[in-house]
Amino acid sequence: MPESPRLESAGTARPDSATAGSVPADRDTPERDTSGEQLALAGLPGAAPPVQPRTLPRKALGSEGRAARDPVAKVLLEAYVPHLDRVFDYRVTAALDDQAVVGSKVSVVFAGRKMSGWVVDRVAHTDVPEDRLLPIRRVLTPLPVARPEIVELAQAVAERCAGTVADVLRVAIAPRVARVDKEFAAPEAAETSETGVVNADDDAAVPADLSAGPASDGAADADPTAAPEPGRAPSSPVEPATTGWQHYTGGLEFVASVGRGEPVRAVVEVLPSAEDHDWAGLTATAMATAYAAGRGAVGVVADHKALERLERALCELVGEDAVVRLHADDGPTPRYRGFLELALGKKRLAVGTRSAAYAPVQDLALVCCHDDGDVNFVEQRAPYQHTRDVLLLRTQQQGMAALFTGYAVSPEVLRLVATGWAARVAPDRADLRRFSPRIEATSDSYNTALDPLAARARLPHEAFRVAREALKSGPVLVQVARKGYAPVLACQRCRTPARCQACDGPLALDSAHAVPVCTWCGRHAHDWRCVECGFTRVRLSTVGASRTAEELGRSFPQVPVISSSDRTVRTRVGSAPALVVATPGAEPVADGGYAAALLLDGNRMLARPWLRAEEQTLRRWFNAAALVRASSDGGTVVVTADLDRAVSALVRWDPAGHAERELRERHELGLPPAVRTAALTGPRDAVDATLRDLALPEPVRVVGPAPVEQTPGNGADLAETVTNDAATLDGADAARSSERGGNRPYRALLFFGFGIAPRVTGALRAEKARASALREHAPVTVRCDVADLL
């Protein structure tokens, strides 16, 4: 944690100074109160010159008396601006001594305005003069929501990603609910003085969010559900069985090491077609083993569908009362209640999506992550960290075990194996052949000889035949690349892409008889006319999931068709014959497994202009094929892409071999994950100024700046169902908005080695703080390790 800066005299900064002017006023304070200000930072560029301080009433400076022990609190402000990313000293009064504990959330005065922050330390002395040390106004929650190990983790993430600690804590700490605070604080408040906990509903501090991020502090929500008793202790752990791990070389040894509390790390290539011991069962067994040893564990997944599978598997082993689920869609009240149960040590098992990587589990022994290559693991708000990196930092800091599972293997985790940081745990070849489905490629020589036109057909004859036979015994999965009905349209005469006349965005169809609509601005193109030939009719350039379901329904009239994509994601389907049309990441699990799977649109996914197009396409194929029954039970997978190394890896079921080849090639080319990257995005003059003022080491390779393309780069509509989070500043919406406003964004890419990475990210953080304080140019977004942009 950085040292507290020395503060100048109270009231020395003008209202329009760089520091004071960047913090919005509290709603409850219409007039600016300058009494007792704690303002100008010593040595900060652009700070206002000191002026003669006014004589302030002693009460304004805080005369309530000091706490008897460690009267100085180090407070990290909830301010999302780079130049305030540091701790500030405040005085703890005797009345708040028992409440302003390390980790508590408090309200303070900064720049004449009420702000919230976290107490990260209590010390006995400070360099700030006694008459200039402001007191903490009030304690919003006396509970340790910002535990020291989580603050330390947030600091490490901010340093790695060139961000601010407050931005990381915004994700790490569940949004506060005052009513839940009272439930947990009531037993403690009964033992303290009559000051107790203030009612934060009628006088809550407003976080200084200057980057338009959502606040992490809120009043009690309107959820009327009754709260369970918070003080319930976990049930006595029972040693779980290790079913499933015997199929993996070194699997039983890994689980035993977790039970002994050893810091082992493993990358597991999960067997397909094994519903009784799939990835969720393996992860749950490892977490239950840590729990049986009296310690805690955290499991992180990419979306709610995977979360339900892991939660169900874990609850079957340890019971529902022992598990905390952390997911934003559950609402603020249950999420915050579960967060406090973990922070106070009442429960020791946590499962959830991205933010669960920071779960404040006490005595943590194991962190788990499934399918780390999923783009949903990239945080959509600053500092845009990847969940895998957060877990790696946490493992390194706290010395615990780590488990990465997946049907595919990402180059990043394979690099961990190559460096010796983790061990590869793979199934025996005999078990792999036993559980794998039969995989056919319509582009191989045999199928090409039988059907020469198969390469031109979206649903070749062989795929149609396999689906017809498989429907006799169970459901058939059909994976398509795009959601919607017709996501891309073109002129029927000249094939020119159909664009919106208002914003030049692509037009799409929601149904067969719908009016084309712009996917950018939402306007309906009632009077569309081709700009090249003047024709008024369109054709479907690309077919989406809805159109595919419609066509298959006509081809198989007696078979029900189930769609799972976009906002209608299904988690499970029955074992009855049915056609299940799904986009990547939205495939439901079938009872007993699918009888067959058809992997369509492979060439379209492989042809995306993205460094990871082949890697991501293969990962989605493996995830879909793993839901199919074993070949001994008649399970068959048909892939319709042209024969290349991705198709070959799928046919051989060799995810590690493909990842190894990808990693080797990227080492030769100097591309991630062999090197680290940073992307600087903003107006051209701002990016140029940032590059000019950066003190970068010589080995850093700079590419650009260049205009940001109109698409995000990762083909979001071709990828998994993205979680409902705020859009990133580097996303297509921001780019298109800037283009329409005449200020097209530019992006510069930095490539640098792991050895100099701390120096590069440190320079980026320093430059962001300097530019934020001086306001020399428009803000520049910095993203490190931009896996979803390249």
Percent of all residues in the chain with a pLDDT value above 70, rounded to a whole number: 77
pLDDT classification of 240: cutoffs 50, 70, 90: low
pLDDT classification of 708: cutoffs 50, 70, 90: confident
* pLDDT of 454 higher than 60: no
Would you mind telling me the total number of residues written for the chain in this entry?
790
In this prediction, residue 2 carries a pLDDT of 42
* pLDDT of 11 higher than 70: no
Helix orientation angle between 684-693 and 757-774, rounded to the nearest 10 degrees: 120
Distance CA 464, CA 172 (A): 48
Mean pLDDT to the nearest integer, 354-377:
94
- Scan for tokens 């504990």, then name that residue: 101
In this prediction, residue 328 carries a pLDDT of 87
* pLDDT of 477 higher than 80: yes
In this prediction, residue 513 carries a pLDDT of 74
Mean pLDDT to the nearest integer, 244-258:
92
- Concatenate the DSSP letters of all residues of 626-666 into one string: TTBPPGGGT-EEEE-SPSSHHHHHHHHT-HHHHHHHHHHHH
Distance CA 712, CA 334 (A): 34
* pLDDT of 203 higher than 70: no
In this prediction, residue 514 carries a pLDDT of 78
Distance CA 96, CA 335 (A): 27
Mean pLDDT to the nearest integer, 305-334:
92
Distance CA 146, CA 176 (A): 12
Of the candidates 749, 750, 747, the residue with the CA atom closest to the CA atom of residue 709: 747
Q: Put residue 773 in one of left, alpha, beta given phi > 0 → left and psi -120 to 50 → alpha.
A: alpha
In this prediction, residue 341 carries a pLDDT of 93
Structural contact between residues 209 and 369, judged by C-beta atoms closer than 8 angstroms? no
Of the candidates 314, 278, 280, the residue with the CA atom closest to the CA atom of residue 628: 278
The lowest-confidence range among 82-96, 154-168, 226-240, 416-430 is: 226-240
Instruction: Quote the radius of gyration of the chain (alpha carbons, Å).
Output: 28
Percent of all residues in the chain with a pLDDT value above 90, rounded to a whole number: 44
In this prediction, residue 193 carries a pLDDT of 42
pLDDT classification of 296: cutoffs 50, 70, 90: very high
Tell me the two tokens of residue 693.
């003022």
Question: What CATH number does the domain located at 245-431 have?
Answer: 3.40.50.300
pLDDT classification of 184: cutoffs 50, 70, 90: confident
Measured over the CA atoms of residue 776, residue 777, residue 778 and residue 779, the dihedral's sign is negative
Superfamily of domain 20-189: PriA, 3(prime) DNA-binding domain (3.40.1440.60)
pLDDT classification of 263: cutoffs 50, 70, 90: very high
Kindly report, as residue ranges, where domains of CATH 3.40.1440.60 are found in the chain. Answer: 20-189
In this prediction, residue 199 carries a pLDDT of 40
Contacts 24+ apart (CB under 8 A), 754-763: 754/675, 754/676, 756/697, 756/699, 756/700, 757/160, 757/676, 758/159, 759/697, 760/676, 760/678, 760/696, 760/697, 760/700, 761/159, 761/160, 761/161, 761/162, 761/678, 762/159, 763/694, 763/695, 763/696
The lowest-confidence range among 163-172, 511-520, 749-758 is: 511-520
Sheet with 265-269, strands from edge to edge, namely: 323-326, 349-352, 296-300, 364-370, 401-406, 265-269, 423-425
* pLDDT of 491 higher than 80: yes
Q: 3-state class of 333 per DSSP? A: helix
In this prediction, residue 346 carries a pLDDT of 92
Give Cβ neighbours of residue 59 (< 8 Å, ≥ 6 apart).
none
Question: For residue 596, how many C-alpha atoms fall within 13 Å in the half-sphere facing its CB?
Answer: 23
In this prediction, residue 437 carries a pLDDT of 94
pLDDT classification of 204: cutoffs 50, 70, 90: very low
In this prediction, residue 239 carries a pLDDT of 57
Mean pLDDT to the nearest integer, 646-662:
93
Give the model confidence (pLDDT) of 264-284 as tens digits. Answer: 999 999 999 866 678 999 999
Peptide bond into 673 cis (omega under 30): yes
Mean pLDDT to the nearest integer, 551-567:
83
pLDDT classification of 187: cutoffs 50, 70, 90: low
Instruction: Tell whether domain 437-484+544-652 is in CATH 3.40.50.300.
Output: yes
Tell me the two tokens of residue 780.
């520049």
* pLDDT of 732 higher than 70: no
Average pLDDT, the chain: 79
Mean pLDDT to the nearest integer, 605-617:
87
Q: Are strands 676-682 and 781-784 parallel, antiparallel or unpaired?
A: antiparallel
In this prediction, residue 457 carries a pLDDT of 61
Helix orientation angle between 279-292 and 251-259, rounded to the nearest 10 degrees: 30
Give the model confidence (pLDDT) of 41-64 as tens digits. Answer: 333 344 444 444 443 344 444 446
Q: Nearest 5°: CA angle at 640, between 637 and 643?
A: 105
At 378, give phi and psi (nearest 5°).
-85, 120
* pLDDT of 30 higher than 50: no
Q: Find how far residue 529's CA is from the centre of its chain.
A: 41
DSSP 8-state class, residue 46: T
- Concatenate the DSSP letters of all residues of 415-460 into one string: HHHHTTSSEEE-B-HHHHHHHPPEEEETTSHHHHHH-TTGGG-SS-
Kindly report, as residue ranges, where domains of CATH 3.40.50.300 are found in the chain. Answer: 245-431, 437-484+544-652
Mean pLDDT to the nearest integer, 540-563:
78
Query: Between residues 543 and 107, which one has the greater pLDDT?
Result: 107
Q: Count CB-CB contacts under 10 A for residue 472.
A: 9
